[in-house]
Structure 1
Amino acid sequence: MTTEAADPVEAVAVSPAADPGFLQRYGTTIEYILIPGAALVGALAVFGIFVALFGKNPLDLYFYMYQGAFGTWFSWQNTLTRAAPLILTALCTALPAQLGMVIIGGEGALLIGALSATSIALAIPWAPPLVVQIAMVCAGVVGGGLWITLAGALRQYRGVNETISSLLLVYIGLAILNHLVEGVMRDPSSLNKPSTREIGAANMIGSIPGTDVHWGLVFGVVAAFASYILIYHTVFGFAARVAGGNIRAAKIVGLGVGKLILMICFLAGGAAGLAGMIEVAAVQGRTNANLAAGYGFTGILVAFLARQNPLAIIPVAILLGGISASGGLLQRRLGLPDASVLVLQGIIFVFVLASDALYGRIAFLKGKS
């Protein structure tokens, strides 16, 4: 005698919260969303307490932060404009992280990329705008790429810690920029704020039609998608992740670790150098000290908050760009210094680093009680 089929109502799938198998399969993914999100919320709460000590209402703080970042179409455009260089400088940290390297020199690569792009534009004023723009892109990528490759080479051939060397290269890059801008490349008409000559309005890359957001945002998004494909869907990316997981094992199986380090560092620096080129060709129109706006350092926070995932960098960069964009509104409405957002970014960074110890330690995300 055959038994009857189970009642369809009884065959309804078990909810994910009650299914240990679901948590075992997707627990890691949930961690990568839940833990950074909790770190961000915790940082905002602490920043609210910090603001309350100065007699300001934290609820007003959060409201104006939202309004300044995402409350209007103007706010959105300001946020997206600031997110563009953050995506590219975050890739400067995220790509070497696949090899287990901690590169924090995106700011220096951005400055060198900007300087290289400006130099090539001023060297060929007779060329058509499209040729000049392509030359600027190439110069920015190569300049920034070689700058970070220097940190990789010091790591590979001299055993110098890449974190220290890349940070020191930021200050060397800033010194080079100041030396050239205040010296041989200085525009005689720039009096109070030394800068180079303008690259010309025809050579600017312009904005996306219908918006005030420059094309740098598209460059950043394309670079993030290309980086994701490179790292997770190519042999080169697989080799880089293997070397990052166990460099000794990678050498045993014959992977060219030294070549991987130099190539990854070049690509990482090239992304930050492209950010510098975009700041020149889309925002400043020339090279000056305004380029040292801290995008490279904020990019480090973006990369860590995104867990070094190139695709996750895009929404995180938009979020951090929004926080940065809200600084002016906080200053006008609450009387807070514009640099208050830097305090918030510092608190977020501390929370993100502290939360790193939680990965793999949350029992219920493993399907365990």
Structure 2
Amino acid sequence: NSLQRAAPLMLTALAVALPARAGLTVIGGEGALVLGALGCAGLPYLLSGLQGTVGSAMVLGAGALLGAAWVAAAGALRQWRGVNETISSLLLAYIAIALFKHVVEGPMRDPASLNKPSTRPLGEGLRIGAIAPDSLLGDVHWGLVIGVLLCLGAGLWLGFTASGFALRVVGGNARAARLVGLPTDRLIVGACALGGACAGLAGALEVAAVHHTANASVIAGLGYTGILGSFVARHNPWAIPPVALLFGGFAAAGSLLQRRLGLPDASVLVLQGFAFVFILAAEGLRGRLFQLALPSFEKPRLVAVQGRALP
């Protein structure tokens, strides 16, 4: 269960990490995720007869494209209209959630969904199955493999390609990058689009592999948890999988805490908050402890030097 919950968190954390390497703080991954879920569930309404691997790739691609376009809009507003990307991406997320609810409860609602408005169930041929259903992995689906591969690929791209290096230069000093001729606008909007595509893919996988329909269960705060995961991983794609596994374990422990100890579901949020505070405190104290220990080693040496220097 922890592995299954970690799969979308890897992708939503990437949705924050990639724009962050370009110097942007984009926190609208939740909006891209719900639109990705809507695109995955809605494509069969437009194209009937989708089946097999090609059909699965198309519904996942539809979700990724919708997410990419939505977050790229925040990057474009920042570059060409001067709108703060943090505010615009967050507001766009609220708009996306409202749009999702309107479409799911209105035009795309399945008449058979009485108690919980949902779209029509995704066809069996379009669903993403489990990796090894008869093993210890259980219901862990192929989205976990996709998330790990994308994190590894993003790290390789940022660290070993010219375009990845250019993106990091833009994130370090956008003005200097512009002066040396780098296409800063294209790189920034492209980073936002890639991040949005990851979040949209996470939403599409939630529909294709977990819920098999688009409904309110998709709006579970995975996009916001991805923000936390990206910051804990210091926006390093290679550090995102273990962090996502940690937070996936927290999420999986929520139901266990409810059943065994009678604790409320909010206990998961408390655990996540404590983990975030402890990690940030350890990061801040690491340099300070070294500075506090350094004078104790340097004082005798300084005294000896001063003693020789005095007449």
The SS at the match of 1:103 is: coil
2:62 matched to which residue of 1? 139
Matches within 5 A, 1:183-198: 183-198=106-121
What percentage of residue pairs aligned between the two structures are identical?
55
| Distance (whole Å) between structure 2 residues aligned to residue 101 and residue 90 of structure 1 | 14
Unpaired segments of 5 or more residues in structure 1? 1-77
Instruction: Name the aligned partner's letter for residue 149 of structure 1.
Output: A
Distance in 2 (alpha carbons) for counterparts of 1:271 and 1:158: 25
2:79: which partner in 1? 156
Give the superposition deviation at 1:269: 0.3
The residue aligned with 1:40 is none
Task: Output the amino acid matched with 2:160.
Answer: H
How far apart are the structure 1 equivalents of 2:235 and 2:76? 22
Distance 1:226 1:276 in 2: 20
In structure 1, the residue matched to 2:47 is 124
- TM-fit CA distance, 1:344: 2.1
Instruction: Specify whether residues 352 and 172 from structure 1 end up closer, same or farther in structure 2 by C-alpha distance, changes over 3 A only.
Output: farther
What is the DSSP-based 3-state SS (H/G/I as helix, E as strand, rest coil) of the residue aligned with 1:178?
helix
- 1:299-333 Cα deviation digits (max 9, x unpaired): 11111111111010000100110011001111112
Residue from 154, 162, 167 that aligns with 2:90 = 167
* Aligned Cα root-mean-square deviation (Å): 1.9
State the 1:363 CA deviation.
2.8
Unaligned runs of 5+ in 2: 298-311
> Partners of 2:278 and 2:94 in 1: how far apart?
27
Shift of 1:365: 11
Query: Secondary structure, in 3 states, of the residue corresponding to 1:224?
Result: helix
Once residues 114 and 354 of structure 1 are traced to their aligned partners in structure 2, the CA distance between those partners, rounded to angstroms, is: 36
Once residues 286 and 175 of structure 2 are traced to their aligned partners in structure 1, the CA distance between those partners, rounded to angstroms, is 24
Q: Which residue among 81, 91, 95 is the counterpart of 2:14?
A: 91
Q: Please tell me the residue identity of whatever aligns with 1:87.
A: M
1:262-312 CA-partner distances (Å, limit 9, x unpaired): 110010000000000100000011111110011111111111111111010
Find out whether 1:182 has 2:105 as its counterpart: yes
Conserved? CA contact 1:122–1:199, under 8 Å: no
Could you tell me how far 1:129 is from its partner in structure 2?
Answer: 2.2
Q: How many residues align?
A: 292
User: What is the aligned partner in structure 1 of residue 202 from structure 2?
Assistant: 275
Opposite residue 168 of structure 2, the aligned amino acid is R
* 1:18 alignment partner in structure 2: none
SS in 1 for 2:258: helix
Which of 147, 158, 166 is 1:239 aligned to? 166
Contact 2:50-2:126 at 8 Å conserved across structures: no
Q: Distance in 2 between matches of 1:195 and 1:135?
A: 21
Q: Distance in 2 between matches of 1:193 and 1:315?
A: 34
- Structure 1 outlier segments of 4+, above 4 Å: 350-362, 364-369
- Could you say which residue in structure 1 is the equivalent of 2:193? 266
Change (3 A) 1:353 1:170: farther
Q: Is the counterpart of residue 346 in structure 1 residue 273 in structure 2?
A: yes
Report the Cα offset of residue 167 of structure 1. Answer: 1.0
Q: What TM-score, normalized by structure 1, do the two folds share?
A: 0.75
After TM superposition, the score normalised by the length of structure 2 is 0.89
8 Å CA contact 2:22–2:171 kept in 1: the answer is yes
